[in-house]
Structure 1
Amino acid sequence: MANESFDNPISSDKVTDKPGLLEYAHSVGGAIVKPEDKGKIKGRAVTAMREQTDLQLSQLYRQMQLLAEQAKAIRNRVEVSERIYGAQMGFEPIVGHTYYFYEKKDGTDVLSLVAPNEWGRTNPFQRCVATVKMMADHTWDVTYHDSDYSEEE
């Protein structure tokens, strides 16, 4: 019996010497391989891609808004700084010090060392526009006031 040849009942075109490369399970315990709907795969991939790119675009939009707000704040600081440098002042401002920006009744601006609460009854200004602090770049950090010092007529 040792020399008897084995007659395989399975056709030779249905047998392989590399079963791991088959596109289907080659044994009873093998994993089930189901063909995927390529339309579903592409649909899920496109959906995931759109969600990710929308998230990235949203982040970029928020960053652009922040940059625009920062640019506007800098432009505002420059405008206020020009107005302050055009104001009357009897001293040379020092970086890091706090000053008070007033408007006179005639509309002219004055930069002062004296705070609004230090004037008492003799306040010569119509209103304190802002408290300002000179920055290192010689622009001004501005805190606006709504106080009005106009005398009653």
Structure 2
Amino acid sequence: MANEAFVNPISVDKVTDKPGLLEYAHSVGGALIKPEDKGKMKGRAVTAMREQTDLQLSQLYRQMQLLAEQATAIRNRVEVSERIYGAQMGFEPIVGHTYYFYEKKDGTDVLSMIAPNEWGRTYPFRRCVATVRMMADHTWDVVYHETEFTEE
């Protein structure tokens, strides 16, 4: 028996001299190597990417809307400020005080310290355009805008 050559009972197709290069575990304790479905993996990655970018785009859109609203408010404040400085006023406005901006029946503008509800029956204006407060930069903060006043 010493002269007989050893015959491996395992098929030659199932044995290798480089087990580390096998695409499956070569022993009972070896790590499980499972082939990935690349289409499934790419699909999940694309879905996650789209979800993340949609979230970021919606956040940018909300920020853009806020900036547009702020720009509109500043533009309105500038327009009212220019119109107020072109209006008739019999006093010097003080920073931080509230005034009332009226449009006369002849179309001219007036800045007054008297509120619309304080005029009584003799309301001499077509409408109260805005209630305004002078800010430190000498622009006007519009408290309400384009309110109709009905005579009673």
Q: Percent identity, aligned pairs only?
A: 82
2:55 aligned residue: 55
Aligned CA-pair RMSD? 2.5
- Give, in angstroms, the shift of residue 54 of structure 1: 1.3
- Give, in angstroms, the shift of residue 23 of structure 1: 4.9
CA distance in 2, matches of 1:139, 1:25: 78
1:77 aligned residue: 77
2:86 aligned residue: 86
- Give, in angstroms, the shift of residue 146 of structure 1: 1.9
2:129 match: secondary structure: strand
TM-score by length of 1: 0.78
Which portions of structure 1, spanning 4 or more consecutive aligned residues, are displaced by more than 4 angstroms? 7-12
Q: Does 1:124 align with 2:124?
A: yes
How many residue pairs get aligned? The number is 141
1:147 aligned residue: 149
TM-score by length of 2: 0.78
2:16 match: secondary structure: helix
- Give, in angstroms, the shift of residue 28 of structure 1: 3.3
- Give, in angstroms, the shift of residue 120 of structure 1: 1.8
Aligned partner of 2:48: which letter? Answer: A
2:53 match: secondary structure: helix
Higher strand proportion (structure 1 or 2) = 2
- Give, in angstroms, the shift of residue 26 of structure 1: 4.6
1:4 aligned residue: none
Residue deviations 1:39-92 (CA, integer Å, cap 9, x gap): 221121111111111111111111111111111111111011111111100111
CA distance in 2, matches of 1:114, 1:8: 115
Structure 1 regions of 5+ residues with no counterpart? 1-6
Structure 2 regions of 5+ residues with no counterpart? 1-5
